Amino acid sequence: MLSASTVPGLTSVIVVTANSGPISLRCVNNVLGSKAPLELTVVDNASSDGQLAEIERLHGTDSRLHIQRNVENVGFGPAANQAASASEGEWLLVLNPDCLVDSDTIENLCSIARSQARAGIIGAHIVDKHGHRANANRRRDPTLLRVLMSLSGLARLERRWPSLAGIDMPDLPQAPETEHVDAVSGACLFMRRDVFAAIGGFDEGYFLHCEDLDLCRRVRDAGFEVCYADSIVVVHEQGSSSHRRALFVARHKHLGMWRYFRKFDPAAQNPVLRGLVWCGIWTHFWLLAPLKAWQQRRQQSI
C-alpha cells in the first residue's frame, strides 16, 4: 500500500541491496548528486558486507536518504514494494545497486515522462562499464516460441524472416527518442507512482528475476505504455552481488521463468506443453549448475 500523500515533481528512488559490494556506495553517491528533486530509499536485505554502514557514514545527515533494514533476504520485489509504500514521489525510479546514473538522468526521465501521458514505465539505454549496449534494453514478451527462437539462435535471422523473432529486439539503424516496447531492462525502471499503485506493485511471488517482465506486462494490460528512451544512458556494472551467489541467483531466475510462463503464456493451458516447459526449464538449470557453482567458488575465493 503506497503512502496516501504525493509530492508533485518529486522522484522516489528505490535501491535494493543484498551484499552488493562497493558499487552500491557509488550508486548512492551518483543518485544523491542528481539535479532533480528526489528522495532515496535504500532497502537492505540482510547484507553482511558493511556497505550499508559506509553509506550511512557518508550520507547519514542527508535528509533525502532513508534506510530500511530487513533481518532476512525477502527478495527484490517485496523489498522494492516495502520502499515504495513509504515513498511520496510523483515518480518512482527502481534502480539496481550496480547502476550508475549521471547528474541529469533523473531530470531527463521526468521530462520524457511528462511528454508521454500514457507512459506507465520508461526504461533507459543500459550499457556495461565498457559502453556496450545491454541485450535486454528492448524486449518482447517471452512467449514459448520466442524463447525457443532465442535459445536456438534462430532469432538472429529475424531481419530476413520475422517469424523467427526472439525476445530481444534487434538494434534500429536510427533509434527514436522514445519507442513503445513490450518490456525494458529491470536494472532501471522509471514509472508513474499512480500506475504502480493501481497494478499493486511488484508481484511478490517472484524472489529474484522476471518480476520486471511481469510488471511491464501488467502495466500494458492496465492500458498504459512501456517506453524505451534510447537517449538516456545508464551504466550497469552487472553482477556485483550475483557472482558471489551464482547458483542461488540462477535457481531463482529459473523459478521466475516458470512463474511468468504459468501466469501469461497461453501455452501453459496445455498440460503437455506445460510439462515440457517445466522439464526444459529445470534441465537448463541443471546443465548450468556446475558452471554456476564453479563461478561462485571462484568469486568467493577472491
pLDDT of 157 over the 60 cut: yes
For 250, other C-beta atoms within 10 Å of its C-beta total 21
The residue behind cell 517469424 is 163
Element (H, E) at 186: none
pTM, full prediction? 0.93
Look at 163 and 173; give whichever has higher pLDDT: 163
pLDDT bin (cut points 50, 70, 90) of residue 135 is confident
Quick: pLDDT tens for 187-239.
999 999 999 999 999 999 999 899 999 999 999 999 999 999 999 999 998 76
Residue 82, phi-psi category: left (phi > 0), alpha (psi -120 to 50), beta (remainder): alpha
Structural domain boundaries in the chain: 7-133+171-238, 243-300
Q: Grid coordinates standing for 260?
A: 511468468
Element (H, E) at 217: helix 211-221
Confirm if 73 and 46 have CB atoms less than 8 A apart.
yes
> Looking at residues 278-290, what average pLDDT do you find?
92
CATH architecture of 7-133+171-238: Alpha-Beta Complex (3.90)
Q: Which residues contact 37 (CB under 8 A, 6 or more apart)?
A: 9, 10, 11
Quick: pLDDT tens for 29-77.
999 999 999 999 999 999 999 999 999 999 999 999 999 999 999 999 9
Provide the CA 85 distance to its chain's centre, in angstroms.
Answer: 18
